[in-house]
Amino acid sequence: MALEKYTTTVVGAYSLPRWYETLEKQVEARALSTEDMKDAQWRCTQAALLDQEVAGIDVVNGGEMHRRQNNRHAPPNAMLNFFWQKIPGFEKDPTSEYGIVTRPKPITPKDEGVFHPGAVATGKIEYGDLGLIDEFRFVSRYARDADSVKVTMTGPHMLAKVAHDEYYDGDLRAMMMDLAEVINQNFKELEEAGCKHIQLDEPLFAVGGITREEVEAAIEANNQCWDGVTAFKWEHVCQGNYAVGEDYDGQIGHRYFDIEPYPTEQICNLECDAIMNEGDMTPKYEGLLKDQQLAIGVADVQDLNVESPYTLVERVNDWGGSWLSPEQTLITSSCGMNHLPREVAFGKLAAMAGARDILRGVLAPA
């Protein structure tokens, strides 16, 4: 299965309102209810979808807006805590912020003293409803074309690597494979609900201390997630985009996980339809990419400036034009946009759509 050349898509996370945290504090003070917060999250989901469609993006989503409660630990609380709380095997605590028991866990040697609240696996990981169908049904209800809606999901390596293991005795592969079974069942149910685009996110393939064997085990677990799934399969592979500080908004992150060599050869063994990358990593795929399409992350989310469509076209040509065929080329951003001001995020989406039209010959080049 292949998409039309230069099809545009989002990575997942969209511009997060600064007032999310204020709302959460109002819920904690019992001035608002949890249902009020959920209502705000779903309204933001509608706004994120509308921005994408108005900008001209082809494959859209809900911006992952309903997965966040605040600006702290973003995006990890949307990638990790949101799903850990739904999976049996991770210790629960209904009184905690995320509904699970967490302990601090270092994120990267690049920033000492920076930790994420990691879940604790105290039992065998078993099936849980990850909420993907509810997300798809909500977003597709408002989308111009339900077949263009994509649902994103954190990959088994990320979910296992950042958690504390008190059950698997250090066997990360076994933990990942159990998570893959849970994800696979949810993906099959999501596909039955009508979803045509599904995505896995894995940012830790070059994290400090990772071995080739661990990457290969992670690839195996990711491929297991796709077993029997016929929807268009996206794999987003990045090296992190987290900022440090009291307030996440307005800060531009850096690549936390570009410690070890970028394992392009192993990444190309992903049994997916399209790999989404950080654009400047594109040359590393030359001679290794198989029959997958490559979504080049040309819109730089670590830059507060909005690029022109012509700049994005130049990046496509510079990074892949000499070897990557138009039919294999798709367009995306380098990572999620949750930390960007809305006008900047929207501008980058519109530039991506403009670059597509130039490359397809719909708009004349500069």
Parse the chain into domains and list their residue ranges: 20-68+128-155+194-359
Amino acid (1-letter code) at residue 305: N
Sign of CA dihedral 195, 132, 3, 57: positive
Given pLDDT bands bounded at 50, 70 and 90, which one contains residue 146?
very high
Whether the bond into 75 is cis, omega within 30 of 0: yes
- Per-residue pLDDT for 310 more than 90? yes
Query: Measured in Å, how far apart are the chain's first and last C-alpha atoms?
Result: 33
pLDDT tens-place string over residues 274-284: 999 999 999 99
What's the CATH number of domain 20-68+128-155+194-359, 3.40.50.620, 3.40.50.720, 1.10.274.30, 3.20.20.210?
3.20.20.210
What is residue 340's predicted lDDT score, i.e. its pLDDT?
87
Phi, psi at residue 329, to the nearest 5°?
-100, 125
Among 285, 279, 272, which Cα is nearest to 323's? 285
Listed range (61-70, 79-88, 150-159, 319-328) with the worst mean pLDDT: 61-70
Q: Which residue has the tokens 């949890």?
A: 34
Phi, psi at residue 95, to the nearest 5°?
-90, -10
What percentage of the chain reaches a pLDDT higher than 90? 74
Mean pLDDT score, 294-315 = 95
Q: Which tokens go with 257?
A: 């996980």
> Taking the model in full, what pTM does it have?
0.94
What is residue 73's predicted lDDT score, i.e. its pLDDT?
47
